[in-house]
Chain A
Amino acid sequence: MRASEVTSSSAFLRSTERKWLRKFEPAFYIAPAFLVLILILIYPLGYSFWLSFHRWTLRDFVNGVPWVGLQNYISLFSNPDFLASLRITFTFLISAITIEFVFGMGLALLLNQTLKGIGVIRSIILLPMMCTNVVIGLTWRLLFNYEFGIINFYLSQLHLTPVQWLSLPNLAMVSLIIVDVWNTTSFVALMLLAGLQSLPEEPFEAARIDGASAWQSFRFITLPLLRQNILVALLWRLIDTFRIFDVVYLLTAGGPARATETVSMYVYNYGFKSFNLGYASAASYAMILIMLVIAGLLARSIGRTYT
């Protein structure tokens, strides 16, 4: 009797232990990853959001970080320099992405052909995408150098006037666009190529039978069917281009005369040069908000395409 009591008691314990294990075991396994995530992602995000409502400057943060409410956001949107950086960012973004999509589509159509050595060509075209932005920035800075750059060298060989790629306000923006187009057109091409290769053959055959021209097939069949891929690539490129920093920093540092000061450069200058972290955090959140609105609209379009 006594032995059976012990047995039933230990069975009960084992069963409770199993239930407890079943309930909490997964939490223990994911805990390290979750803790790391909180530390490196959620905490900084939350802290910078908190900072955006406070005044934090290098010279007085040891005396406290006072609450300033929406003051940083109000200052931000009444600051002509921030509004100028928004305008510059959108000019850059619209110009670069438009060119990338035109070139990317052309490349994707070319790569979609069954030509000899197309695999090698595809690999070569992807090379710019594999370079790090720091290498790209430094290399193009040398290429664009007015006195010693290879581009001006060949222009002078052709008896053309050397170009001040990085020292004239308007041309500096053009130079940035050239670099971005060079760097990411292959990405757009890759996304569109994936779409092209998944298109069904039937609509094209029907169009051919009905006597549609190549342009008509492209305009009325290829483009509508590629809509989903185009939107995904567009969303990706918008997010990526909106936060461009390293190439701008290395090529122009936002100059000349702030002509290429994108929002990221603006945030960097306030955050890490002036060490006005409250204000810089507000600018970062304004950036995120703007991007969220744009990305949300695009995501809805993508969703509609799916349905």
Chain B
Amino acid sequence: MSKYRLLALLVMLAIVLVACSPAASPTSTLPQATNPPAQTTPIQAAPEATTPPETAVSTGKLPPIVVACWSGPEHDNLVKVAAAYTEKTGNQVTVEEIARESYQDKLNTTFVAGGSDYDVAYVSSDWPPAWIKANALQDLDRYFNDPNVVDKNFDIKNYQPAINSFVFNGKTYAFPSEGDTAWMWYRKDLLEAKGIAVPQTWDEYLAAAKALNNPPQIYGAVIGAKPDEALWDFMFYLYSFGGDILDKDYKPIINNDAGVAALTFYADLLQKYKVVPPDVITYGYNEILTALQEGKAAMGIEWMAATQTLTDCTQSPKVCKDGQPLLGYTFVPGYKKADGTVVHGTGGSSWGWVIPSGAKNGLAAYKFIEWLTGPEGGKMWALNGGIPSNQLALNDPEVTQKIPQFKMLAEVMPIRHLVPPTTVTGDMVTAIDEAIDAAVSGTKDPKTALDDAARKMTDLLTQAGYIK
């Protein structure tokens, strides 16, 4: 009996020892989370890298990868383009959709923990600095500088100027994909019926919103002041009023006269003029999109990523007539100053594809994003509603013919501002979001709200060493 007991004990001990033993070393020699990002390590000896890349890609020999993307048009687009990549190469790509609200938090947690959940992720240009500091991203130089890996037609110049948003300390951390901005959307039929010209300035925009405001059937305009997305709507007002977030020395200037004027105008649309739905404090990208799609708002500022959805009569049938979209789009209005001059400026974002340090299949990830952002994938991305940053894709004759808004995008590029990328940008955005939220909900006046935000931002930038 005791022999059996002893045997049982030994089996138990063996199980415990096996369970506690370290995991087998990964077969890939790709850098681990502990490697500093500045280190350039050419791919060596990994089985997946020894095959010439073109052969590997074309014969489907690369391991499957998982790509993280937030919900919305980019995800829908990615699913289509990734399927085309799989069909072409045989390499499997799984797209994981993550809710917009929790997307950045999810990536933060996964990347910092060195998690291997994702091989590729879609990120905004202001997110990488903190991850680079935490050694959580792989630089792409190690791939495109390796002749065994890089595509023979690859030329980094084709990504200019968008790729500059992803170069930190001389290293490239993402291939750009979306160089986005927003348009002012308006109901052509309603403006025509009232004999109102398409607004060119914010004064005209307000006058038109008042004229078209007929709640609860339709509101004159719409804004999106949801606590965690507010800046991504307000930024278009801020920059077009001549405001900015930081000056060149990293000092917060969001609370200067232009910033306060912009937030006052923005909050007054709800508080004073009541020309936007009363619950805009819960609106973000999706809710603005729905308000325009459902014909609940006559005008609004919405990202150009929504263009295909808003102009496609099968997706937005309520704002279509005789198969033609009733929604038109133009540049974000300018701000007419007291001296009569009109200030023009707009916001935007730059998005790209990164490979986290914890990625299991870095090479497969690289080959995917190289193709996705290259001339072929980029063209497909554009034709499905995306905004590629690769010049070859942007200037493709079929793309330029089918997507006229790219010409408009080229026009606003010189006046387009991006949220400044720092290691504390996430916290700064939260501080500004709180200010917008407080002003729009009427709990603080715009000046006080922005002063509070500026104070918090100064503390953050001082702690992070940007302000001496």
Point out residues on A near B: beta carbons under 8 Å: 14, 17-18, 21, 25, 28-29, 31-32, 35, 58-62, 145-148, 162, 164, 166-169, 252-259, 269, 272-275
Residue B80, interface by CB 8 Å = no
Cα(A269)–Cα(B130), bound, Å: 16
Contact of A255 among B12, B294, B437 (CB under 8 A): B437
Cα(A257)–Cα(B443), bound, Å: 7
Contact of A273 among B6, B15, B105, B437 (CB under 8 A): B105
A18 to chain B, nearest CB (A): 6
The answer to whether A272 and B108 touch (CB under 8 A), given A29-B12, A169-B441, is: yes
- Least CB separation from B435: chain A residue: A257
Q: Contact mask B127-159 → A, CB, 8 Å, 1/0?
A: 000110111000000000000000000000000
| Listed A/B pairs (17) with beta-carbon separation below 8 Å | A18-B2, A21-B9, A60-B133, A61-B134, A62-B133, A62-B134, A148-B294, A167-B279, A167-B280, A169-B441, A255-B441, A257-B441, A257-B443, A257-B444, A259-B443, A269-B430, A273-B108
- Least CB separation from A165: chain B residue: B279
Q: In the complex, which residues 320-350 of chain B have their Cβ closer than 8 Å to any Cβ of chain A?
A: none
Cα(A17)–Cα(B440), bound, Å: 77
Contact of B278 among A59, A164, A252, A255 (CB under 8 A): A164
Residue pair B434, A28 in contact (C-beta under 8 Å): no
Cα(A29)–Cα(B10), bound, Å: 11
Cα(A58)–Cα(B426), bound, Å: 11
- Give chain A residues whose Cβ lies under 8 Å from the Cβ of B278: 146, 164, 167
Residue pair A146, B279 in contact (C-beta under 8 Å): yes
Cα(A266)–Cα(B112), bound, Å: 21
Q: In the complex, which residues 270-319 of chain B have their Cβ closer than 8 Å to any Cβ of chain A?
A: 277-282, 291, 294, 296
Residue B101, interface by CB 8 Å = yes
Cα(A17)–Cα(B1), bound, Å: 12
- Give chain B residues whose Cβ lies under 8 Å from the Cβ of A256: 227, 281-282, 437, 440-441, 443
Residue pair B423, A59 in contact (C-beta under 8 Å): yes
Contact of B464 among A18, A59, A255, A269 (CB under 8 A): A59
Residue pair A274, B279 in contact (C-beta under 8 Å): no
Residue pair A167, B16 in contact (C-beta under 8 Å): no
Contact of B112 among A60, A257, A275 (CB under 8 A): A275
A41 to chain B, nearest CB (A): 17
Residue pair B16, A32 in contact (C-beta under 8 Å): yes
4 more A-B contacts (CB under 8 A) besides A32-B19, A273-B104?
A: A35-B19, A35-B20, A62-B135, A258-B434
Cα(A235)–Cα(B108), bound, Å: 35
Point out residues on B near A: beta carbons under 8 Å: 2, 5-6, 9, 12-13, 15-16, 19-20, 101, 104-105, 108-109, 112, 130-131, 133-135, 216, 226-228, 277-282, 291, 294, 296, 423-424, 426-427, 430, 434, 437-438, 440-441, 443-444, 464
The answer to whether A58 and B133 touch (CB under 8 A), given A164-B278, A253-B101, A275-B112, is: yes
- Least CB separation from B101: chain A residue: A253
A217 to chain B, nearest CB (A): 48
Cα(A29)–Cα(B440), bound, Å: 61
- Least CB separation from A269: chain B residue: B430
Residue pair B296, A32 in contact (C-beta under 8 Å): no
Cα(A168)–Cα(B291), bound, Å: 19
Sorted nearest first, the 9 A-B pairs with minimum C-beta distance are A146-B279, A255-B227, A167-B279, A59-B423, A167-B281, A257-B443, A256-B441, A256-B281, A257-B441
Residue pair A164, B20 in contact (C-beta under 8 Å): no
Contact of B133 among A31, A35, A59 (CB under 8 A): A59
The winner among A25, A256, A259 for most chain B CB atoms within 10 A is A256
- Give chain A residues whose Cβ lies under 8 Å from the Cβ of B108: 58, 272-273, 275
Residue pair A58, B130 in contact (C-beta under 8 Å): yes
The winner among B20, B131, B133 for most chain A CB atoms within 10 A is B133
Residue pair A272, B105 in contact (C-beta under 8 Å): yes
The answer to whether A14 and B135 touch (CB under 8 A), given A32-B15, A257-B441, A257-B443, is: no
The answer to whether A253 and B228 touch (CB under 8 A), given A146-B277, A269-B430, is: yes
Residue pair A14, B133 in contact (C-beta under 8 Å): no
The winner among A17, A31, A275 for most chain B CB atoms within 10 A is A275
The winner among A162, A255, A275 for most chain B CB atoms within 10 A is A255
Contact of A147 among B130, B133, B279 (CB under 8 A): B279
- Give chain B residues whose Cβ lies under 8 Å from the Cβ of A61: 134
- Give chain A residues whose Cβ lies under 8 Å from the Cβ of B133: 58-60, 62
Cα(A17)–Cα(B134), bound, Å: 53
Residue pair A21, B2 in contact (C-beta under 8 Å): yes
- Least CB separation from B33: chain A residue: A62
A69 to chain B, nearest CB (A): 18
- Give chain B residues whose Cβ lies under 8 Å from the Cβ of A254: 227
- Give chain B residues whose Cβ lies under 8 Å from the Cβ of A269: 430
The answer to whether A162 and B216 touch (CB under 8 A), given A18-B2, A21-B6, A146-B278, is: yes
- Give chain A residues whose Cβ lies under 8 Å from the Cβ of B279: 145-147, 164, 166-167
- Least CB separation from B20: chain A residue: A35
The answer to whether A257 and B437 touch (CB under 8 A), given A21-B9, A31-B16, is: yes
Cα(A254)–Cα(B460), bound, Å: 22
Residue pair B426, A274 in contact (C-beta under 8 Å): yes
